[in-house]
Amino acid sequence: MNEISVDDFQTSAREWLVANRTAAPRDYGAICPPDLITKGISWQQQIESAGYAGIHWPTQFGGRGLTPQHNAAWMLECALAGVPPFLNMVGLVLAGGALQRFGTDAQQHEHLHATLRAERVWCQLFSEPGAGSDLGGLSTKAERDGDDFAVNGQKVWCSGGRYSDWGILMARTDPEAKKHDGISFFLCPMDLPGIEIRPLKQMTGEAEFDEVFFTDVHLPARQLLGPIHGGWGVGMAVLTSERGHIGTSIIGLERRLESMTGLAEGRELNAVERQRLTALISRGSSYKAMAQRQGPIASTAASLMKLGITEMMFATAMLRGDLAGVDATLESPEAFGMLAAPGGRIAGGTSQVQRNIIGERLLGLAREPRP
């Protein structure tokens, strides 16, 4: 089975998707919205039973032991079929990736296969009211207390917090150290006493995020992932894979561009609208070419794709709204798209922050002042 070529694997994935795609929730992107969670979990279980979960994960963790190219083929076929490739990125990419790279044997065996089977759903507890782009400034504290860490503080913008069983948590374990040196990375059960989750309503009217409050939460010390006070390195490895993953949404983008072209059909576009549309389609084609060259590999170049694609999606949503006309801005899929689009430019590191990374690490420009 592990000898299967990428082409044969892709063909079998395509056939499986044709037969099973009606069981999938709509393609919601990287993180399952709360109203689709039941359907999302059952979709992940179906994917797992059919051998399409953890395609490039080692077999001892319940994966299939194939290559990242096989996994990329699955992602491509799912995008073409218009279905989510897995339940959510936080569990299947971020927590799964961090556990494989930094987890102890016990942690890997406890979580990895259960995550593939959707018996364990994960959320990301990084951002705080005072620490987003500057995540190193986080102030949630985890103080050693016997066999536990006592956690106190607040997290925010936690996607899917209220339906998750576990969270990946970054907290300050050494307040005396330089800010990036005093942080640790934990695996945190979301049902511990002292954790309070409150939904946050966003401007689309939906509430996909939560605020999460920690009051004297006793987190067992064995839930530390990676070295004590070494959580910054773990977190950065995780965030780079998040950006790389967001960058692979090129196929979704291509489909949007196709539907944009369709929107123009049978319409009298004026010269400015035609120019905006053509410019977007050309930009989309350039990103596609770049993505094909780069592949879904997590690296600094992931910032380039994250920036390009999310900015492009924003511009596409705005043009779509403009073409739909004034009436459609009251209540319509186009209006929803315009309200939802800014989030992509913020999630996983804002566009401004990606520009800084590209300037400093890819182009070798002078570093911005760090007061």
Smallest distance, ligand FAD to C-beta of residue 255, A = 20
Cβ contact 183:231 at 8 Å: yes
Smallest distance, ligand FAD to C-beta of residue 102, A = 18
Rounded distance between C-alpha atoms, residue 211 and residue 197, angstroms = 6
Nearest CB to ligand FAD, comparing residues 182 and 349 = 349
Nearest CB to ligand FAD, comparing residues 49 and 352 = 352
Residue from 133, 131, 149, 151 nearest 141 by CA: 151
Nearest CB to ligand FAD, comparing residues 23 and 362 = 362
Query: Can you list the alpha helix ranges (DSSP code H) found in 123-224?
Result: none
Catalytic residue check, 119: no
Query: Can you list the alpha helix ranges (DSSP code H) found in 178-300?
Result: 231-247, 250-264, 271-294
Nearest CB to ligand FAD, comparing residues 72 and 169 = 169
C-alpha gyration radius of the chain? 21
Name the phi and psi angles at 166, rounded to 5.
-135, 155
Smallest distance, ligand FAD to C-beta of residue 336, A = 14
Rounded distance between C-alpha atoms, residue 222 and residue 189, angstroms = 12
- Chain residues that interact with ligand FAD, rule: CB under 6 A: 123-127, 132-133, 157-159, 343, 346-347, 349-350, 352-353, 356
Q: Which of 77, 128, 208, 242 is the catalytic position?
A: 242
Smallest distance, ligand FAD to C-beta of residue 350, A = 3
| Closest residue to ligand FAD using C-beta atoms | 132
Q: Kindly list the distances between the CA atom of residue 347 and the CA atoms of 15, 36, 133, 311, 319, in Å, as whole numbers in the listed order.
A: 33, 20, 10, 12, 21
Question: Which residues are designated catalytic?
Answer: 242
